[in-house]
Amino acid sequence: MALVLAENIGRVALLRLNRPKKLNALNAALIGELNAALDKAEADEKIGAILLTGNERAFAAGADIGEMEKIKNYAEVCEENLITRDWERVTQCRKPVIAAVSGYALGGGCELAMMCDFVLAGTDAMFSQPEIIIGTMPGAGGSQRFARAAGKAKAMEMCLSGRMMDAKEAERCGIVARVVPAGSLQRVALETAQKIASHSLPVARMIKESVNAAFETHLSAGVQFERRLFHSTFALADRAEGMRAFLQKRKPKFKHK
Ligand code: DAK
């Protein structure tokens, strides 16, 4: 059984984590399939955005505890470079990646969602960093991305208590971009991804780079970087087409060049 179901819908690559009996717990095989699907979507010039989702019960309930429990000691985990060796592929995607979260996004599942460019959540979504409950701690950026998105107080409380927060709280504290009724999540997420994919891909890439730079630079350097990218859009055929189309009161026909 495929652990990641991949389907192209127009210019959107829809990737669905598919280990339902284990609440999509992330094991090495699933991560391998996810990375292969991401590679394929990135290489496909007909794809303009990637939508990552799970099922109604779970986006992913964390790293597979059964797989981790087998690791005997520190030396072995270092040697194996568990999870880190291939866990962060999604952060290297140059195309926009949206996470659509229903049900549980726990531990590594919450970390995977936060690695995406933004998260859309159904009202039934639950987020947590519960690693402390099983005697470990976030290891795929959870403490860092939670702190950047939600601030120190929430990050400390969530990582130290391991409690779950619901979608509304996650939206209020900046983990989630938008909450939609659970039954509409897949439709809204697909429409959002399709809208993004309909825009000029090189511009979308520049916007990703620019927003991500906000987390790596001082404000003045970030604004300067943004200005250079903005100027660069004037080298694109899509920029000329977009402005011309507006003035001619028609939809732009982007060539993604
Ligand atoms: N791993 C493996 N199996 C899991 C799982 C997980 N994380 N979560 C759920 N399952 C399995 C259950 O064992 C059960 O399997 P069967 O017994 O039916 O075979 C099945 O999924 C259904 O789960 P439950 O029967 O428990 O369902 P409930 O509705 O009663 O409870 C629950 C749902 C989500 C509250 C509960 O399953 C739960 O607490 N799950 C564990 C959540 C958790 O602790 N997640 C964090 C895992 S630690 C690293 C980077 C990252 C990480 C680690 C290292 N490095 C860079 C080194 C990340 C760590 C984590 O994510």
Q: Which atom of ligand 1 is nearest to the CA of 107?
A: 61
Q: Is the CB of 67 under 6 A from ligand 1?
A: no
Residues of the chain with pLDDT under 50: none
Q: Which residues are catalytic?
A: 63, 108, 111, 131
Q: And the tokens for 147? A: 């702190």
Q: And the tokens for 30? A: 């699933």
The 8 Å CB, 24+ separation contacts for 5-9 are: 6/37, 6/40, 6/41, 8/44, 8/46, 8/47, 9/190, 9/194
Q: And the tokens for 209? A: 């780079």
What are the strands of the beta sheet with 126-128, ordered from one edge?
58-60, 104-106, 126-128, 165-166
Please give the distance, rounded to the nearest whole angstrom, from the Cα atom of residue 204 to the centre of ligand 1. Answer: 35
Q: Is the CB of 103 under 6 A from ligand 1?
A: no
Query: Which of 3, 23, 89 to probe ligand 1 with, by most ligand atoms within 8 A of CB?
Result: 23
Please give the distance, rounded to the nearest whole angstrom, from the Cα atom of residue 59 to the centre of ligand 1. Answer: 12
Q: Which atom of ligand 1 is nearest to the CA of 162?
A: 44
- Per-residue pLDDT, 55: 98
Q: Which atom of ligand 1 is nearest to the CA of 66?
A: 2
Please give the distance, rounded to the nearest whole angstrom, from the Cα atom of residue 185 to the centre of ligand 1. Answer: 23
Please give the distance, rounded to the nearest whole angstrom, from the Cα atom of residue 25 to the centre of ligand 1. Answer: 6
Q: Is the CB of 31 under 6 A from ligand 1?
A: no
- Per-residue pLDDT, 83: 67
Please give the distance, rounded to the nearest whole angstrom, from the Cα atom of residue 3 to the centre of ligand 1. Answer: 16
Q: Is the CB of 23 under 6 A from ligand 1?
A: yes
Q: How many CB atoms lie within 10 A of CB 170?
A: 28
Q: Is the CB of 22 under 6 A from ligand 1?
A: yes
Residues 6+ apart with CB under 8 A from 137: 131, 143, 159
215-228 residue pLDDT tens:
999 999 999 999 99
- Per-residue pLDDT, 61: 98
Q: Is the CB of 130 under 6 A from ligand 1?
A: yes
Cα 108 from chain centroid (whole Å)? 12
- Per-residue pLDDT, 81: 80
3-class SS at 237? Answer: helix
Residue nearest atom 38 in ligand 1 by C-alpha distance: 61
